[in-house]
Structure 1
Amino acid sequence: MTNTPVALTLNAGSSSLKFGLFSIGATPVAMAVGLVDSIGRTPTLKASFGAGMPPLGRDLTPAEASDHKSALATALALLRQHFPEAQVAVVGHRVVHGGPSYDGPMRLTPQVMAELRRLSPFAPIHQPHNLAGIDAAVAAFPDAVQVACFDTAFHRSHPWVNDTFALPRDYYDKGVRRYGFHGLSYDYISGELNRTAPLIHAGRVIVAHLGNGASMCAMLGGRSVASTMGFTALDGLPMGTRTGQIDPGVIFYLVQQEGMTIDEVRDLFYTRSGLLGLSGLSNDMRALEAAGSTQANEAIDYFVFRIRRELGGLAAALGGLDALVFCGGIGENSRLIRERVCEGMGWIGLDLDRARNAAGDTVISTDMSRARVMVIPTNEELVIARAAKKVVDADSACAAGRPNVRNT
């Protein structure tokens, strides 16, 4: 990679690595996007490239993706094969937790990395893997600018009443508060609404990011004012394997009466609950919809019920509703979930057009609906690429000639 400067985006999950390669001209444009999945188990690689180039998909050997470092090496080998003249000038990373201090993208320095490691207990199943991805990228591109983009940053505009818990005040000062997550996705949706439907963007909008991780966000004028996730990415809606909202007393019961350790409770809540736990079958909504079993249907029923309940609460926080936007893997692809969420919600202004919903149109409400219902595919990688470019541009404008800060 020697001639053309590009931005690399990395989104490291517990067992996956999403990656993207973007040109960094006036506006970042995707050259390639891909995913290494099931790292350390039975890894696979999927990637897509520009127009006219076929997508790629294959199984990987265990050695090709035994950990995040080897997964990144495999992804980079693919990118070098297709773009031999590209030079990675900046790497943008999704970092789940930025704590109370980071409300925008940050150039990574040793001091910032130390703070992000300190925040790992706030996001125990996400943050360590995000940081492992950063370490691997620093080793691969020691001269590139490394930029962190935080899932919590979009929600730093929350009013105090949505940020706090009813605990003694000193816990809030220590950082025990509601943060909200999926901020990169919400940032993208807010930007798309501003570009394509500015009147909707200026109003009262609820975005439902529904996937293996699921949450909802209430926006006023494109800014987050309330969200369903809280201190961690465990709260709110039920998810693929996570409980969502649960009475904290359940933890006391499991520890005191069932004899579970805190680590066992955490594993139960994060990896064995949600749609998987309720159905006893799968965390994949497609499998649940196809199964038709009583337990699969009940898992779907609970998922829909919680979305509808949060929809009503977020609309109350906004003082009404002008639009509901679905995004994420389930939100973008499951016409059944969209239909069931909107069913009987005329009281809140929603009137779904079944034909438009079945066709997967962008606007799936009727022409007479008081609130618009939309489906907008999200694009977290593009948000990361834009943010990374902005940091590089700011560095160039404010500190021309200053040597790069090496990340360690």
Structure 2
Amino acid sequence: MSTFGTHFRVTTYGESHCKGVGCIIDGCPPGLALTEDDIQPQLTRRRPGQSNLTTPRDEKDRVTIMSGTEFGHTLGTPIGLTVPNQDQRPHDYSETDLYPRPSHADWTYLLKYGLKASSGGGRASARETIGRVAAGAVAEKYLKEAFGTEIIAFVSSVGKIAMPFIDEQHESGTPSAEFVDLLNTITREQVDQETTRCPDKEISKKMTTRILEAKEANDSIGGTVTCVIRNVPTGLGEPCFDKLEAKLAHAMLSIPATKAFEIGSGFGGTQVPGHQHNDAWVAKVGKKGQKVLGTKTNYSGGIQGGISNGEHIYFRIGFKSPATISQEQATTSYSGVEGVLATRGRHDPCVVPRATPIVEAMAALVIMDALMAQLARQSAAALLPPMPDTPLRPGPFVMHVPGGQAVKVADDAVKPKTE
């Protein structure tokens, strides 16, 4: 399907070489200050032609709000966003009328629909992600203004060249202190200082060299993107099949070229015994000086039981080497005749530098959708008569949830630590 979300619903449209692409957002709260200037920065970060590490296709990706706002504020009605395709070269893909490209979606789309877009990847093209990024920018603005939520993604590896924390986590099974500090402090401004979008300058230089090597060889290389979501409201996520990490995995693996997803300690956590890996609960002080419960280590990645616990959510996504390369490759025609395909066109030798805003957008859409479900539940519950106190409700610790309400947690639910 081309629609994502249940309460904050986004439908993207368009193919890689049609007249334009975009999205419809349904369910955005009314009263949010919104203009094209709020959306354009993320589209500019995603657009092609940013550096010699990306495709030379020159698209400005200028967004226009077609509906759903008036006098610079959302109306609560569907928001229509459109971006024209300007630098189109459909003739670059004439060979794919005869041959499916290796590891691309030409053949599977033909199997599914009985026909396919004659140029580019059609709906399988990364051009489709423009609608996601535009919608994500809207969701992100609401989350930022309402809860101070911050979403930052950065490139953590290209090929075998990785930021040190990845190797350290593989060795220890858990995130290093340096990585935790990075998650606490990283900003988009730091990420964008490097064309690779890797915040480690020395590693970024090595990544640049590796990407240019692939480009000069008419080849490609993959990599990983790490993302952190800070100031996440608690209580987000729906048991059992719509757990928050499941929705994040769904969202991230729907991005073109993705092949892997891990959250928190990830696969490294499988190497650590439970007594070392368990996140101990500790008393913390909230932003307003109130007592709250938090975790000491956050190996869970901010989610337990499929529900956000208030700690940072962090995860990593693996992107394969782009399938479209300008090399002769053995393949077989649609009629079953073996042959050689030499793909033309303009392609990214590595997608991860441009993927960071796409990852941020999909993260924003997941959190926004889960938030609206939780707010609806709380608003409905608030209309009922107050519940009587039970052993699970009284106590000095409070857990803050969206809307500024608080849920009490019992003293006697926690066994006192003895010396």
Q: TM-score range by the shorter chain?
A: under 0.3
Q: Looking at CA atoms only, which structure, 1 or 2, has the larger radius of gyration?
A: 2
TM-score, normalisation: structure 1: 0.24
Q: Which has the higher helix share?
A: 1
Q: Taking CA–CA contacts closer than 8 Å with sequence separation of 6 or more, which of the two structures ends up with the larger relative contact order?
A: 2
